[in-house]
Structure 1
Amino acid sequence: MTEATTPLPTILVIDDEIRSLESLARILNEDFDVRTAATIGEASSVLENEWVQVVLCDQRMPEQTGVEFLKSVRTRWPDVIRMIVSGYTDAHDIIDGINEAGIFQYITKPWHPENLILTLKTACRLYALQRENELLAIELKMSPSGARQKVSDRRDKLRKDYDFDDGIVRGKDSPMNAVCDTLKQVAPYDVPVLLSGASGTGKELAARALHYGSLRWNKPFVVENCGALPDELLESELFGHKRGAFTGAVEDHMGLFERANGGSVFLDEIGEVSPAFQVKLLRVLQEGEIRPIGSTRTRKVDVRVIAATNRDLEEEVRAGRFRADLYYRLAGMVIRIPDLKDRRSDIPVLARALLTRAVGQLGKQVTGFSQEALDCMKSYGWPGNVREMQNEIQQMLVLGPEGRELGADLLSRHILRADPADLDGQDDEAIAGVEGTLKDRIEMLESRIIRETLIRNRWNKSRAARELGLSRVGLRSKLERYGLENVKPLPATRRTAGVPG
């Protein structure tokens, strides 16, 4: 009797350069069942007819970019693991790929065969894990006790990941400590919570911490961005609909309130909903029941509502744009999440945590940040808060040298121009609003431009002077005027790409 062999995982390689396609297929054939395509049309045909686990697509294709194609793959075949290979390191393409196309890895040319095979094997394991999760749902019905224990174990891990102390990254003396203490106190009590704060401050993370710190932690947590959908679609998403209720309703749809029964619903950007929808939401919160669109029957639901807004809802109530009765239904407790500019001490800790996450996503190893880079980050105001910092760090990682330290020269120019002594982290445009003479304001801007240029050039005064169109004597004079003459240059590190503007 012969021993059964495990079939090789199937991968699809897409590249319009035939030699490159043949080279990839030759290298990968031993470890994978390789399918190849030289056009987007051929690739779509393979996906429609084959059981593909991983797609490896070249970024520069004649019909459309690899990221654009993988966006459509994500929609049609969401389980397929998506990867890009490219000789170009456009940071915006990479960030778009991660955020919009759900790309698992971005591989740059020239690639090393062993590293490429290892990355593809990791992707295949991820695909197998997804399939295992799907089978777990079936197993729950067939073998309740064992499956429930697995689900319980995974929920325990989630609870730890979103713990108030470990899940919300902050420094020792952070302003977030008081916020986390409040969240911890409120979490066990079944009262609605309104989280306020600017976009990107981490309101959803706080909402998850509330849920996993509550008595509902082992029940569902669902999220809806209320500002992203028109009223009819939002009503359908939250409350569900019956087949035929409107054009496109081809089957019954269970709303998020019903899916979250026993758990928590997080309504993000609640301040964006229309007055008409406010009435419908108020009725649900008052009665504790929903009625799907097209249905004549109501259904009882038991959920805890956590809402978030970047607006001043009290001012919106006074202005008549938000219903007072709905506001008081949502605002059982109001907790404000501070801006990142008010959490200066958190920035180094948060930056390192975001870098660790980015390294895991992109698979590129570095040794951390230089102290100068962290100092520049602390000087900047971060108007986009944590989300802006996340994108900036992804960009630094993409452009930085493999296995080396990420220096300040990799930061965007507007961040380098932030004044270390300016606690508001004003950008260049904000200088126009600063009090003082025209000469004072121009000198403030000039000092920032000189400092930014020096950092990008690793404090090489000759290169900085040439870029600024100054003589060395002229630059030295300005350094003395602005107190920059005693700053010591950092040890040089190799740059692998240009600095973003």
Structure 2
Amino acid sequence: MTERPTILVVDDEIRSLESMVRILDEEFDVYTANTAEAALAILEREWVQVMVCDQRMPERSGVSLLSQVREQWPEVVRMIISGYTDSADIIRAVNEAGIYQYISKPWHPDELRLKLRNAVELFELQRQNERLALELKLKPSTLSEAIQTKREALQERYDWDMGVVRAPDSPMNAVCQEIFQVAPYDVNVVLTGESGTGKELLARALHYNSLRQDQLFVAQNCGALPDELLESELFGHKRGAFTGAVADRVGLFELADKGTIFLDEIGDISPAFQVKLLRVLQEGEIRPLGTNATRSINVRVIAATNKDLQEEVRQGRFRQDLYYRLATFLIHLPPLRQRLQDVPLLAHALLQEAMQQMGKRVKGFTSEALACLQAYNWPGNVRELQNEVKRMLVLGQKDYLGAELISPHVLRATPEDLRQEMRVLTDGLQGTLKDRVEQLEARILKEVLIRHRWNKSRAADELGLSRVGLRSKLERYQLERLDKAVNDD
């Protein structure tokens, strides 16, 4: 049996400890401590991969405890949890204790589990990095070849033609052609589109098909941080620049020198920070916080936003000069509802990823399930489809994922989807009016039965039919045979 990751949770409130144990113990081996001394004792005797510590404890702060852990057990991934989100506290925690994640209260169970999974993955990557460093001393030529192989695989993953899953007649074909044309030229690009349409994927495709492909690609969500912390992340800071800055920090612009930086949610930055970013783009220089010295940088900027930046400029919320510095080339990504022909291919690709992540295998989707997925509007775009595929995989008990596993709100489209739903229902109907009405009636029966997981009593109630009347219609339209096939798979 695979060994489970070990987590240490430190909190002086017993109820908080019990709550975290309840949601984590199915996936992790969880140790708990309600004092700093108890936590250090556990670290002395147990092999802990991730430590989650409350910031405000009576005898000692979380930052103070994690700073000691950083010195004695630097391999442990450290996370802090607090109901206070002052930016100075966050910066101090990151610098003094080397915090990987700052979790705000109240936390959501699913989000907490996801962050812990990422922390465990980071722990494993750190160990692999140490092993690679050792092997590099022993076998530099062999490792050089291995690194080149991995680099080529990564480049292929984000190749403009292979990295974007789409149908032959997809609107994404034009987008990919634009990516292919602009990637080799060293110009800034703005990607626009709704959340969940895959802007970061295309940003990476731009980088790995550019002349900077052998250099670093770094990404930052600009809408998630206050100005001071965002400035520190992007431009860096000197020790003592502000409270909690106990060491120099290299910013992402300097880190990405000669490479590419991806600035997500660029439309959400404040007017004050827009001025600072404009200065960097104009002068090609950064000035870390706490110093007057500037450093030259050579970085390609790819920005993304779900807002209409041109409208933001017209409304005075986004600087026109910054817009023109960023948007040398503007590429718009269509929402998933405008590329429904891609849904079956995307669903299969996302299923392959989900099976690899979850360690569960199925053969695929039923044609009925794919038809239902393709009929939905997908307001959350590819990200919503990804969640739906994962949900189906978790619930599935057969070789193929059927339509009965789809969420009810997807099976029964929302009011704004009715036009699309009616198009799907009436598409392909042929013959006389009587023939077409019968074909439509069969489709309605099928949709209601799928939504009720083939429970005939509930379907009959919704349709205002008796069970005998429903059975008669099922026999007439040969849906009884489909019922048995679905339930016998």
Normalising by structure 1, what TM-score? 0.69
Alpha-carbon distance in structure 1 between the residues aligned to 2:319 and 2:30: 56
Q: How does 1:217-296 map to 2 (within 5 A)?
A: 217-296=213-292
Alpha-carbon distance in structure 2 between the residues aligned to 1:425 and 1:201: 20
Alpha-carbon distance in structure 1 between the residues aligned to 2:138 and 2:282: 38
Alpha-carbon distance in structure 2 between the residues aligned to 1:494 and 1:101: 39
Alpha-carbon distance in structure 2 between the residues aligned to 1:309 and 1:36: 40
In the alignment, what sits opposite 2:47? 52
- Correspondence 1:101 to 2:116: yes
Deviation at 1:315, TM superposition (A): 0.6
Q: Match of 1:102, SS? A: helix
In the alignment, what sits opposite 2:91? none
- Correspondence 1:411 to 2:410: no
Alpha-carbon distance in structure 1 between the residues aligned to 2:442 and 2:316: 46
Q: Match of 2:303, SS? A: strand
Unaligned runs of 5+ in 2: 9-16, 18-24, 51-75, 81-96, 101-107, 423-440
The one-letter code of the counterpart of 2:379 is P
- Greater mean alpha carbon deviation, residues 172-181 or residues 312-321: 172-181
* 8 Å Cα contact 1:382-1:388 kept in structure 2: yes
Deviation at 1:400, TM superposition (A): 1.3
Deviation at 1:347, TM superposition (A): 0.5
Distance change (3 Å), C-alpha of 1:47 and 1:284: farther
Distance change (3 Å), C-alpha of 1:39 and 1:248: closer
Normalising by structure 2, what TM-score? 0.71
Alpha-carbon distance in structure 1 between the residues aligned to 2:462 and 2:335: 35
Alpha-carbon distance in structure 2 between the residues aligned to 1:79 and 1:226: 19
- Correspondence 1:75 to 2:79: yes
The one-letter code of the counterpart of 1:492 is V
Deviation at 1:418, TM superposition (A): 2.5
The one-letter code of the counterpart of 1:227 is G
- Correspondence 1:321 to 2:325: no
Q: Number of aligned residue pairs: give it.
A: 401
* 8 Å Cα contact 2:4-2:29 kept in structure 1: no
Deviation at 1:471, TM superposition (A): 2.9
The one-letter code of the counterpart of 1:219 is Q
User: Which one of 357, 362, 373 corresponds to residue 377 of structure 1?
Assistant: 373
In the alignment, what sits opposite 1:368? 364
Alpha-carbon distance in structure 2 between the residues aligned to 1:259 and 1:369: 44
* 8 Å Cα contact 1:104-1:362 kept in structure 2: no
Q: Match of 1:335, SS? A: strand
Q: How does 1:111-260 map to 2 (within 5 A)?
A: 130-137=126-133, 147-260=143-256
Deviation at 1:36, TM superposition (A): 7.3
Structure number with the higher helix fraction is 2
Alpha-carbon distance in structure 2 between the residues aligned to 1:354 and 1:308: 23
Q: Match of 1:224, SS? A: strand
* 8 Å Cα contact 2:218-2:256 kept in structure 1: yes
Alpha-carbon distance in structure 2 between the residues aligned to 1:222 and 1:199: 19
* Paired-residue identity, %: 56
* 8 Å Cα contact 2:442-2:477 kept in structure 1: no
In the alignment, what sits opposite 1:28? none
* 8 Å Cα contact 1:417-1:449 kept in structure 2: no
The one-letter code of the counterpart of 1:409 is E
Unaligned runs of 5+ in 1: 1-7, 17-23, 25-34, 56-71, 81-91, 106-122, 428-445, 496-501
The one-letter code of the counterpart of 1:329 is R
Distance change (3 Å), C-alpha of 1:173 and 1:135: same
Alpha-carbon distance in structure 1 between the residues aligned to 2:145 and 2:338: 42
In the alignment, what sits opposite 2:451? 456
Q: Deviations over 1:88-147 (max 9, x none)?
A: xxxx96x64663332699xxxxxxxxxxxxxxxxx9xx9766523234356668986655
Deviation at 1:394, TM superposition (A): 1.1
* 8 Å Cα contact 1:269-1:310 kept in structure 2: yes
* 8 Å Cα contact 1:104-1:361 kept in structure 2: no
Alpha-carbon distance in structure 2 between the residues aligned to 1:294 and 1:258: 16
